[in-house]
Amino acid sequence: MDSVDLEVLRSAVAWRRQGHGVTLATVVETWGSAPRPVGAMLAIRGDGMVSGSVSGGCVEDDMIEKLTGQSAPVRPQLLTYGVTREQAERFGLPCGGRLAIVVEPVADPAHDPHPLEVLEQLLAASDRRELSVRALDMESGRMSLSPGSRNDILSFDGKVLRTVHGPLWRLLVIGAGQLSRYLAEMARTLDYRVTVCDPREEYVFGWDVPGVDLVRTMPDDTVVAMELDSRCAVVALTHDPKLDDLALMEALKSPAFYVGALGSRANNEKRRRRLAEFDVSEAEIARLFGPVGLPIGSKSPPEIAVSILAEMTAVRRGMLQPGSGERTLAPRTAVTSGAACS
């Protein structure tokens, strides 16, 4: 779940504490060109005010009409949109897209404080950058919360909805320079748990980016210790081959979905030749994005950070594939049912 949807939950909790009725809505399945991904959330207040989005505006008006006032649900239920051509045209779903949405009332804490307590515990865990899984029983409306893992994804079998909350994605940045600050701050807004690694005393002195882990170990040791998986990215930014190359040698052997290195095209070609002299295969070297970032003409550190995160997002969404440093766009594919809420 991303930070936008966590803000939906914060709004829901605040509204309920203020005495408003609240209904939560979660996208649990999509077909065709769905405007919002599985896991997207919407909170609807009793007076029709909303926070978040499940369709980019296509079906929200209909949901407000159905879920407020006397029509407010008393227990969880499943809504579907875009099943027929008439519905698709009425609600503006593109290309015949369809949505399945679980809606659930948040009980009045004066009568049943448990649901609100669960949501508050979930938000507190997320603030601590911990993963949680919330389970909703469709028949009883009861919630439960349990620790999550990086392998958890949203699931719905018609009886129980399980949603994952917290920083599913991780980013390791090598180097604690100025660019790293911008990259770390921006990455946090995109729901990465960020670790910055720099063993150099002169660079870590004064590092004060909140919510970012700073480690002083050698980069290769850091990569190994983090046990990178397919939801991890590694970006080397020191310009020092002794540090960057150490991290890259380990990261390129890992399942990390993105590995990039700062530097000119010429310097990155020299880097590839250096890596080939060690135990790094040609296929592994081909995974390297270098020069790092999409070519958007960026010059300043904030602009370069934007280009890096844009490239990471394109890879994460399946729109860009690594290959000898070249940017090769992948064909756009439709969102399928059961997709992970990433």
- The per-residue pLDDT for 325 is 45
Which parts of the chain register pLDDT below 70?
1-3, 32-35, 83-97, 323-342
132: β partners: 147, 165
- The per-residue pLDDT for 337 is 32
The neighbour count for residue 124, using CB atoms within 10 Å, is 11
**Rounded to an integer, what distance in angstroms lies between the CA atom of residue 185 and that of residue 66?**
39
Secondary structure (3-state) at 103: strand
Closest CA to 182 of 340, 305, 282, 298: 305
What is the pairing mode between strands 169-174 and 232-236? parallel
**Within a 13 Å sphere around the CA of 270, how many CA atoms are in the beta-carbon half?**
10
Tell me, what amino acid is at 39?
A: G
Contacts for 325 with CB less than 8 Å, ≥ 6 apart: 265, 268, 272, 288, 289, 290, 291
- The per-residue pLDDT for 163 is 95
Domain ranges of the chain: 3-165, 169-327
CB 169 within 8 A of CB 193: yes
- The per-residue pLDDT for 141 is 93
State both tokens at 142: 């009861």
Q: Is 295 exposed, middle or buried (0-12, 13-18, 19+ CB in 10 A)?
A: exposed
- The per-residue pLDDT for 47 is 92
- The per-residue pLDDT for 135 is 97
CB 142 within 8 A of CB 161: no
Query: What's the Cα-to-Cα distance from 142 to each of 24, 26, 29, 40, 148, rounded to whole Å?
Result: 14, 16, 21, 20, 19
Q: For 169-327, CATH number?
A: 3.40.50.720
Angle between helix axes 114-127 and 3-17 (nearest 10 degrees) is 140
